[in-house]
């Protein structure tokens, strides 16, 4: 079955099992491996991509559910120069092991698109991704810095 959607601004059509999770379609058929597999039950957020602008956990999302959708991966964030979120991540030295970072950054980008100046409560409610290294204080500080950088741009 052929399923069509837009991936990082480019129309694509894939001929895969319609139940194949979007994460694996993007990684295996499109060669974009920046989005990671973590838990396989949509709990950790390592697999977060944007689907029609919404942060979406893709390890359990069947590809047929995104027919015609606009999908954005970490590869489309700051391809030339770091985005405000990526710059804040570096400034606050958020990553330790780095495994969760692509999903975390995608979740934060979506949050800031929706709420340009989030409170700590907004951040806690929206960013439920798991960081096994426990850098949550740095993540929150980086989100506030990214929000400021976006406003100043």
Would you say residue 93 has pLDDT above 90?
Answer: yes
**pLDDT tens track for 133-146:** 999 999 999 999 99
CATH number for region 84-152: 1.10.150.120
b/e 110-149 (16+ beta carbons within 10 angstroms → b): bbbeeeeebeeebbeebbebbbeeebeebbbbbbbbbbeb
- Domain boundaries of the chain, sorted by first residue: 2-76, 84-152
Would you say residue 84 has pLDDT above 90?
Answer: yes
Contacts of 48 (CB under 8 A, 6+ apart): 35, 55, 56, 57, 58, 102, 103, 104, 106, 107, 129
Would you say residue 1 has pLDDT above 90?
Answer: no
Q: What is the mean pLDDT of the chain?
A: 97
Q: Which fold has domain 2-76?
A: Ubiquitin-like (UB roll) (3.10.20)
User: Residue 73 and residue 30: Cα distance in Å, rounded?
Assistant: 11
Ranking 42-46, 96-100, 112-116 by mean pLDDT, the lowest is 96-100
Q: Which whole number is the average pLDDT over 11-15?
A: 98
Question: 3-state DSSP call for residue 42?
Answer: coil
């Amino acid at each position: 079955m052929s399923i069509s959607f837009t991936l990082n601004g480019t129309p694509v059509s894939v001929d895969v099992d319609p139940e194949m999770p979007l994460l694996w379609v993007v990684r295996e058929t499109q060669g974009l491996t920046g989005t990671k597999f973590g838990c396989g039950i949509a709990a950790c957020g390592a697999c977060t991509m944007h689907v029609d602008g919404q942060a979406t956990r893709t390890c359990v999302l069947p590809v047929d559910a995104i027919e015609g959708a606009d999908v954005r991966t970490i590869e489309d964030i700051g391809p030339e120069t770091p985005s405000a979120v990526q710059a804040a991540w570096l400034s606050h030295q958020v990553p330790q092991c780095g495994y969760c970072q692509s999903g975390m950054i995608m979740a934060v980008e979506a949050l800031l698109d929706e709420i340009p100046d989030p409170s700590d409560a907004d951040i806690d409610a929206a960013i439920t991704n798991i960081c096994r290294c426990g850098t949550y204080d740095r993540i929150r500080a980086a989100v506030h810095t990214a929000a400021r950088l976006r406003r100043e741009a």
